[in-house]
Amino acid sequence: MNLLLAAEAEGGFHVPSLETLFEFPAFLFEDTLFALNRTGLLYLIAAGIVCALMLTAFRAPKVVPGKFQAAMESVVGFVRDNIVLEVMGPDGLRFVPFLTSLFLFIFVNNFYEIMPFVQFPTTGRMAVPALLALTVWFVFIAVGVKNQGLKYFKNAIVLPGVPFAIHFLLVPIEFISTFIVRPLTLAVRLFANMMAGHILLAIAFIAANAFLIDFHAWPFGFFPEGASGAVIGIFALAAGPLLVAFELLVGVLQAYIFTILTAVYISGALHPDH
Amino acid sequence: MDLVFLAQAAEGGQQASNLGNGLVYGLAAIGPGLGIGYLVGKSVESMARQPEAAGMVRTTMFLGIAFVEALALFGFVLAFII
């Protein structure tokens, strides 16, 4: 809201700065370790939403599921059949709860982007993607050590059947790609996608507003930037709903990709295959 | 002629850095764009040839897209950082 006002205050179209789009002042416990701003509150609410969804659906499951339980069962079934069984095989089934909660939490945080009155993708800040990627990093290393012992590190970075001299080249590459690039790309992929989507939506809506309606004239003026501006405004107005639909797709897809990559990494730690 | 020189020749100061940011993202998007196009095209081709393997191909396709796309997104983030 204050974004639109900021764009309106000087009249005309201004691309909003990243600070106005992504940074919110703390409103609780300011200047302490527990400072809470809008983003932090949304994270907590997202965790609450995921818990509430799961508890209401599965606390007292019925043999003949109602609509809500059937919907949640289809989410769990999607993670189990399309992600775990496809990527990890039957012995990955014990990771279904972890992956399902990961999927739902990321999806809720992505869905904030197009949820009315929220409209801010909390995964567009680096904090939670980085934390989730670190969690995944610890999980797949722990699974590897538990299943293969300390030989896991050797299996992960030394490829068999390679001439001796090539090892000097391959071992550093494998080490960097497995233990550094994996968590980094996992976090950056989610973060950058949602950040780009938020900027895109904000620019489309602000452009539609700034080129079509002039709130300074009373009661309303139309087309403050003239005919050429009106064309841009109409395009931006038409693009808005399409972009919202596109961002819903991106949100689901990013949650899916994060989960499936986690499954791939864990399955690589489960079976020593190289 | 390197990019920094191009950017400086543009008009110094803020505008040069804006041009640099745009160039960073634009150049970073070329490779992944080609890569994703090739990847999805091949996947669609194989799905059309063998529809019963569509599920497996689709999963693998998304995995491949995720890896290729990471490069473009690094460019996107770097455009804001530099």
Contact residues on chain B for A86, CB-CB shorter than 8 A: 55-56, 59
Q: How many residues does chain A have?
A: 274
Contact residues on chain B for A19, CB-CB shorter than 8 A: none
DSSP classification of residue A225: T
CB of B76 within 8 Å of a chain A CB? The answer is: yes
- Residue A198 has which token pair? 């938020």
Tens-digit pLDDT profile for chain A (274 aa)?
Answer: 445 554 455 556 777 788 888 888 888 888 888 888 899 999 999 999 999 999 999 888 888 888 999 999 999 999 999 899 988 889 889 999 999 999 999 999 999 999 998 899 999 999 999 999 999 999 999 999 999 888 888 888 888 888 888 889 999 999 998 899 999 999 999 999 999 999 999 988 888 888 888 766 666 667 777 777 888 888 889 999 999 999 999 999 999 999 999 999 999 898 876 4
- Residue B57 has which token pair? 């191909």
Residues A142, A138: Cα–Cα separation, whole Å? 6
Q: Enumerate the H helices of chain A as residue ranges.
A: 2-9, 18-22, 38-58, 67-78, 86-87, 96-111, 127-148, 151-157, 167-176, 182-212, 226-270
pTM of the prediction? 0.86
- Residue A199 has which token pair? 């900027």
Q: Do B74 and A18 touch (CB under 8 A)?
A: no
Of chain B, the percentage scoring pLDDT greater than 70 comes to 82
CA distance A261 to chain B (A): 7
- Residue A251 has which token pair? 């949100």
Q: Do A261 and B66 touch (CB under 8 A)?
A: yes
A193, A253, A264: residue with CB nearest B73? A193
CA distance A82 to chain B (A): 8
- Residue B22 has which token pair? 């745009």
Contact residues on chain A for B74, CB-CB shorter than 8 A: 188, 192
Closest CA to A248 of A119, A94, A126, A133: A119
Give yes or no for a cis peptide into A90 (omega within 30° of 0): no
- ipTM score above 0.85: no
Residue of A181, A189, A261 best to disrupt the B interface, most CBs of B under 10 A: A189
Q: pLDDT, tens digit, for every residue of B19-51?
A: 888 888 889 999 999 999 999 999 999 999 999
CA-based R_g, chain B, Å = 18
Mean pLDDT, all residues of chain B: 83
Q: Do B77 and A192 touch (CB under 8 A)?
A: yes
Q: Which pLDDT belongs to residue B18?
A: 79
Contact residues on chain A for B62, CB-CB shorter than 8 A: 253, 256-257, 260
Q: What is the largest CA-CA distance in chain A?
A: 80
Residues A243, A227: Cα–Cα separation, whole Å? 24
Chains A and B form CB pairs within 8 A to the count of 38
Q: Do A192 and B62 touch (CB under 8 A)?
A: no
- Does residue B59 surpass a pLDDT of 90? no
Q: Which pLDDT belongs to residue A261?
A: 93
Q: Do A82 and B74 touch (CB under 8 A)?
A: no
Within 13 Å of residue A252, how many CA atoms lie on the same side as its CB?
Answer: 8
Q: Do B67 and A185 touch (CB under 8 A)?
A: yes
Interhelix angle for A38-58 vs A96-111, to 10°? 130
Compute φ and ψ for A221, nearest 5 degrees.
-110, 150
B 7-66 near A (Cβ less than 8 A): 55-56, 59, 62-63, 65-66
- The one-letter amino acid code at A184 reads L
